[in-house]
Amino acid sequence: MKKTVRDVEVRGKRVLTRCDFNVPMEDGKITNDTRIRAALPTIKYLMENGAKVILMSHLGRPKGEPDHKYSLEPVARRLAELLEHKVVFAQSDVVVDDEVRDAVGVMAEGDVMLLENTRFREEETHNAPNFTQELASLGDLFVNDAFGTAHRAHCSTAGVADFMPAVSGFLIEKEIKFLGEAVEDPARPFVAIMGGAKVSDKILLVEQMMKKVDTVIIGGGMAYTFYKAMGLEIGKSILDEDGIELAASLMKQAEEKGVQLLLPLDTVCADEFSNDAKTCVVDRDAIPADMMGMDIGPKSVEAFGKVIREAGTVVWNGPMGVFEMDNFAAGTKQVAQAVADCQGVTVIGGGDSAAAVEKFGFADQMTHISTGGGASLEFLEGKKLPGVEVLEDK
């Protein structure tokens, strides 16, 4: 168990807090402030308990130099509105300079400051000691609340913990609780649903899950590489050439371990990668050579749904089809419905899977939707996340 802000004294301390304020922007306007809202509980807790709250985040991908279209200034303004409290924006192209240090020096308990985009400094993503030390000079305690970057060892996500005690905020606490419990101590049957585009992206995850689950369901673009390994015609479906052997080996591993591995029974095919394509639904051994598989078919939905509804724990990573196109969204939508119907613990990890669950309106019926994307994938794969590892144990 990692310590959280509740486990340490924050009063009077300069609390350097890493948030995920990497919000979508258009023409300098924030188009979705979900991530800012998600950070409020930790920030409010710190304010109410008398901390001097110094917030850090990255935004977008400035190329290691100041680029004002990625300034966090709009975030500071939005944050102030949401908090109904003043937020000092520490404008500086180098993130930390004498003026910023002076501004921190005059902070009172309960004050909030937001530093400029940490990726204005090229050292940030290299976890370089000089920038780490500059950031660290501003704080007495490090709070990491940015799960989405926890799989990266950057100055602001991990480095600063070398210089001060480090604990988690409420968002990271929730992520490691739900993702961790789901895989470490699952209620059974434990079902993993895997999908997405490429096998090689998810190979480690499937292997890792295979050690723990009772059933692995494979859908989405990954399925065609498995079909190929089975010797089936896959037409123009997405294929991961390098993954064919891996797929074969995974099927063998499943058999040896007594893990049920379910592949789609049927598939929705299209003559081109477009929502307006000509389509047909065929069994998996009848994919026309000139068409491509875009979604799982109704027989698959039925078979998968039955297993999912009876699960004690479900971990889902990767959509069942090209859900961004309405004509190929049904498989993902119906699997999401089955996960929503499941009475067990249901955890969604993966950016596109989370987006699909939101889009189809099932978000509030899931136990936990990870905000992590790549970080949740690495966590589920059993990898150590630098931004979590640096936090103190209870």
Residues at the interface with ligand ADP (CB under 6 A): 195-197, 201, 220-221, 238, 293-294, 317-319, 321-322, 324, 350-353
**Residue 91 to residues 99, 115, 231, 350: CA-CA distances in angstroms?**
9, 7, 60, 33
From 305, 312, 374, 382, active-site residue? 374
CB nearer ligand ADP, residue 72 or residue 315: 315
| Secondary structure E strands in 107-212 | 112-115, 141-144, 166-168, 190-194
What are the residues facing 26 on neighbouring strands?
A: 29
Region of 6-14, 37-45, 304-312, 346-354 interacting with Mg ion (CB under 5 A): 346-354
Please state, in angstroms and rounded to a whole number, the distance separating the CA atoms of residues 289 and 291: 6
CB of residue 313 to ligand ADP, shortest distance in Å:
18
Among ligand ADP, Mg ion, none, the one that 293 touches (CB under a kind-dependent 5 to 8 A) is ligand ADP
Residue 148 binds Mg ion (CB under 5 A):
no
Nearest to ligand ADP by Cβ — which residue? 196
Choose between 313 and 353: whose C-beta lies nearer to ligand ADP. 353
Give 62 or 196: the residue with its C-beta nearer to ligand ADP.
Answer: 196
| CA–CA distance, 314 with 329 (Å, rounded to integer) | 20
Active-site entry in 198, 299, 309, 359: 198
The rounded radius of gyration (Å) of the Cα atoms in the chain is 23
Residue 317, binding choice from ligand ADP, Mg ion, none, Cβ under 5 to 8 Å by partner class: ligand ADP
The amino acid at residue 154 is H
- 37 as an active site residue: the answer is no
Helix (H, G, I), strand (E, B) or coil at 109: coil
List beta partners, residue 113: 54, 88
Q: Nearest to residue 126, comparing CAs of 154, 102, 145?
A: 154
- Quick check: 352 binds Mg ion (CB under 5 A)? yes
If you ran DSSP here, which 8-state letter would residue 392 be given? P
Rounded Cα distance between 373 and 258, Å, is: 30
Q: What are the structure tokens assigned to 17, written together? A: 């807090």
CA distance 313 to 185: 10
Closest distance between Mg ion and the C-beta of residue 210, in Å? 21
**Tally: H helices and E strands in the chain:** 13, 17
Please tell me whether residue 378 binds Mg ion under the rule CB under 5 A.
Answer: no
Q: Pick what 220 binds: Mg ion, ligand ADP, none; C-beta below 5 to 8 Å, kind-dependent.
A: ligand ADP
Which residue in the set 221, 235, 331, 351 belongs to the binding site for Mg ion (CB under 5 A)? 351
> And the tokens for 178?
């739900």
Q: Could you give the CA distance from residue 294 to residue 284 in angstroms, rounded to a whole number?
A: 12
Q: What is the largest CA-CA distance in the chain?
A: 72
Task: Decide whether 324 or 392 has the Cβ nearer to ligand ADP.
Answer: 324
* Calculated CA dihedral for residues 86, 90, 91, 94, nearest 10 degrees: -160
Q: CB of residue 135 vs ligand ADP: minimum separation in angstroms?
A: 30
Pairing of strands 141-144, 166-168: parallel
- Cα 153 off chain centre by: 16
Per the annotation, the verdict on 63 as an active-site residue is no
- What does 235 bind: ligand ADP, Mg ion, none (CB cut-off 5 to 8 Å by kind)? none
Which of 162/201 has CB closer to Mg ion? 201
Least separation, in Å, of the C-beta of 113 and ligand ADP? 33
Which of these segments, 6-14, 174-182, 245-253, 351-359, binds Mg ion (CB under 5 A)? 351-359
Minimum Å distance from CB 363 to Mg ion?
17
CB of 173 to ligand ADP, least distance (A): 23
Q: Which does 294 bind (CB under 5 to 8 A by kind): Mg ion, ligand ADP, none?
A: ligand ADP
DSSP 394: -
Nearest in space to 235 (alpha carbons), one of 282, 304, 300:
282
Q: Is 198 a catalytic residue?
A: yes
Could you tell me the smallest distance in angstroms from the CB atom of residue 224 to Mg ion? 18
Closer to ligand ADP at the Cβ: 318 or 386? 318
With CB under 5 to 8 Å by kind, the binding choice for 243 among Mg ion, ligand ADP, none is none
Query: 202 near 246, Cβ under 8 Å?
Result: no
Query: Which residue among the candidates 148, 219, 344, 351 is catalytic per the annotation?
Result: 351
- Contact positions toward Mg ion, by CB under 5 A? 351-352
Kindly list the catalytic residues. Answer: 35, 198, 351, 374
